[in-house]
Chains A and B, each alone.
Chain A
Amino acid sequence: MNLIGENISYKPDNEYHLNNISFNFKKGNLYTILGRTLSGKTTLLKTIAGLINPNSGSMHFEDKNFSEIPVWERNVAMVYQQFINYPHMNVYENIVFPLKQRKVSDEQIKKDVNEALNTVGLVGFENRKIQELSGGQQQRVALARSLAKKAKILLLDEPLVNLDYKLREQLREEFKRIFSEGFSQETILIYSTTDPQEVMELNGEVIVLDEGKILQNGPAKEIFENPLNLKVAEISNDPPMNILKGSKVSTKINLDNISIGLPSHLNNLADEAYNFGIRASEVKLDENGEEFEIELAEISGSETLLHLKKGNTKIIALIEEVMNFKIHEKIKINFNNNKFYAFDLNGNLVSSPYGAING
């Protein structure tokens, strides 16, 4: 009864857009696909919807061969990152359209549409023209159209990316609410995004996609705590995790020109060269720390991002308050040693602060 994809590859020209992708999506679950732009997220969603025919691989849903069913009979719903609605219809007609296509009874239509309008908070907007709505409202209409359909597979392709900061925050909160309460156990929800924070907040099963390949999948917490390799660490952190080349020498970690005491979870490492990773939020201001020069300081929201440099070592620090720094100012920082990751030189995770993974 699951949506099962096996070895799906799509290669329209010289490059793989999807490279040997397999998945098993269970009903009643939320799946988030995390990847940078052009990593194949949209292609994967369109493949599931049936808009793209992969070159190889198979897909099954409810014991049916999905690849033999055309798009318009698949009963999926999709929300695009662009706000796609039918411009020649008003809000109500937009939401009704898929239901009418499926010949749902008038009574049922009324009920479903009202429910969807309620869920997205657009009651009273039924007769508005799409052109008269703001971006956020347009995206709500698109979402309402998808919800009213009661599709068995709901695909959301970066639904928040074209909204401004405030609306994004607001709609993200609502998504969490809608996903947690309003979802039938019959629906598979697949949500793609480039934003690691969205992934953590939605807290579903995560699939990390890069260059058409699945790098890692698992619960959001697992991806956050144990990124399998440097690529995942990079994609699943914003700002990206600091990666510092260095080596372990008995009880010390020697980075380029800094020496750090060995945290206990790295005790079992062999004495050799590693890539050490530390999140920007684990770099703290500290009077007794190492002196770095500020290359750039940016304030975002209630946080300050510092781009720091010492010799050849460049790191990013995330300070959780708004502070004014001058460029080229010297400040002292320290690392939260207990939060160091160790990756081998091939980029694979060797040890993590949340419990070691070997190999």
Chain B
Amino acid sequence: MNKFYTILKYSFITLWTVFIVAPFLWAVSTSFKDFQSVNSKVTYIPWLDFEPTLEGWKVLIKSPARGGVDIVEPYFNSIFVTCTASLISIVLGTLAAYALSRFTFKAGFVRNNDITFFFISQRIMPPIVLSIPFFIFLSTIGLLDSLVGLVVVYIVLLMPIAVWIMVDFFNRVPKELDETALIDGCNPYQAFYKVVLPNSIPGLIVAGMFCIIFGWIDFFFAFILTFTEVQLLPVKVVALNSSITPWWSLSASALVSVAPLIIVAFVVERYLSKGNLSGALK
């Protein structure tokens, strides 16, 4: 009976892995095909089924003047905007979350939970509702179609995630830990960065990962708020579409876009299992 379950378990895992990995393999294979290999018949294996070519990849770095699309600049734009916005969101969000978790705020009927909800409520509205205010706001302060403008908008989008995750995290760190730090001679700021922060690394990593993912994959605001000066990767990838769908370069750009997230996931995974709060705190 036990053996049966083991077999069942592994077959399920195998099936699921194939389900997840197959599209990637498909994309990898497609990115090396040319028009002929994609459109004539179904082909899978390079050299056997079709003759691999680097054309799909070359298009991504060629300048438009030479018939390419050049995603290099948008790529680094995207990295810059995502990282900057995530970093600022995490720093501000963590401070806000710590305050919301440890101090009691009262303003009329507003309490801590209401403030936390206020942060999250930014994400409840459909993005389309926010797009017009953002557009008017950025054009008024002259930041439309600029990296800085995008960073500002992305902070608005990402900070609620950071606040939400970190409030929940800090609420689970016992208050007595901060108190002990105070008693042991730390002022409140020292207690925060010498004791609370080092014990919050798992939370910071989770929050950071969500920020990076949500920042990286955003297409809508990048599309609405930029025109010609600045372009982000998701917009550029979509712009690859022309009268003939270039499946090969689309596949290549898709692989290039997910690469940073995969790298981040691998790096982060190690820290997630390492930072462990259990045992030391009841």
Question: Do A and B come together as binding partners?
Answer: yes
Give the complex CA separation of A123 and B276 in angstroms. 25
B184 touches A145 (CB 8 A): yes
Select which of B174, B182, B199 is within 8 A of A82 by beta carbon.
Answer: B174
Give the complex CA separation of A97 and B212 in angstroms. 35
A345 close to chain B: CB less than 8 A = no
A72 touches B186 (CB 8 A): yes
Tell whether A102 pairs with B183 under 8 Å between CB atoms, given A83-B282, A84-B281.
Answer: no
Tell whether A130 pairs with B174 under 8 Å between CB atoms, given A51-B179, A72-B182, A76-B183.
Answer: no
* Chain A residues with CB below 8 A from B180, complex form: 78, 80, 84, 86
Tell whether A162 pairs with B183 under 8 Å between CB atoms, given A84-B174, A86-B177, A87-B277.
Answer: no
B229 close to chain A: CB less than 8 A = no
A96 CB to nearest chain B CB (Å): 10
Chain A, range 100-142, C-beta contacts under 8 Å to B: 101-102, 130-132, 138
Using CB atoms, name the residue of chain B closest to A49: B183
A219 close to chain B: CB less than 8 A = no
A206 close to chain B: CB less than 8 A = no
Give the complex CA separation of A248 and B195 in angstroms. 63
Using CB atoms, name the residue of chain A closest to B195: A86
* Chain A residues with CB below 8 A from B182, complex form: 50-51, 71-72
Give the complex CA separation of A130 and B72 in angstroms. 48
> Could you mark each residue 52-84 of chain A with 1 if its beta carbon is under 8 Å from any beta carbon of chain B, else 0?
000000000000000000111110111010111
A131 touches B278 (CB 8 A): yes
B280 close to chain A: CB less than 8 A = yes
A213 close to chain B: CB less than 8 A = no
A88 touches B185 (CB 8 A): no
A5 close to chain B: CB less than 8 A = no
Tell whether A78 pairs with B195 under 8 Å between CB atoms, given A130-B280, A131-B279.
Answer: no
A87 touches B199 (CB 8 A): yes
A98 close to chain B: CB less than 8 A = yes
A82 touches B281 (CB 8 A): yes
A39 close to chain B: CB less than 8 A = no
B46 close to chain A: CB less than 8 A = no
A85 close to chain B: CB less than 8 A = yes
Tell whether A82 pairs with B187 under 8 Å between CB atoms, given A87-B199, A87-B281, A88-B199.
Answer: no
Residue picked from B182, B277, B279, most chain A C-beta under 10 Å:
B279
* Chain B residues with CB below 8 A from A70, complex form: 187
A255 CB to nearest chain B CB (Å): 46
A149 close to chain B: CB less than 8 A = yes
A67 CB to nearest chain B CB (Å): 15
* Chain B residues with CB below 8 A from A97, complex form: 184
* Chain A residues with CB below 8 A from B176, complex form: 80, 82, 84
B198 close to chain A: CB less than 8 A = yes
Chain B, range 267-282, C-beta contacts under 8 Å to A: 276-282
Give the complex CA separation of A149 and B183 in angstroms. 11
* Chain B residues with CB below 8 A from A88, complex form: 195, 198-199
* Chain A residues with CB below 8 A from B198, complex form: 88
* Chain A residues with CB below 8 A from B279, complex form: 87, 130-132
Chain B residues with a Cβ under 8 A of chain A: 174, 176-177, 179-187, 190, 195, 198-199, 276-282
Could you give 7 example pairs across A and B, Cβ below 8 Å?
A50-B182, A72-B187, A77-B183, A78-B180, A86-B195, A87-B276, A87-B280
Given contacts A70-B187, A72-B185, A78-B179, 20 further A-B contacts (CB under 8 A): A49-B179, A49-B183, A51-B183, A71-B183, A72-B184, A72-B187, A77-B183, A78-B180, A80-B176, A80-B180, A83-B282, A84-B177, A86-B180, A86-B280, A87-B280, A88-B199, A98-B185, A101-B184, A131-B280, A162-B282
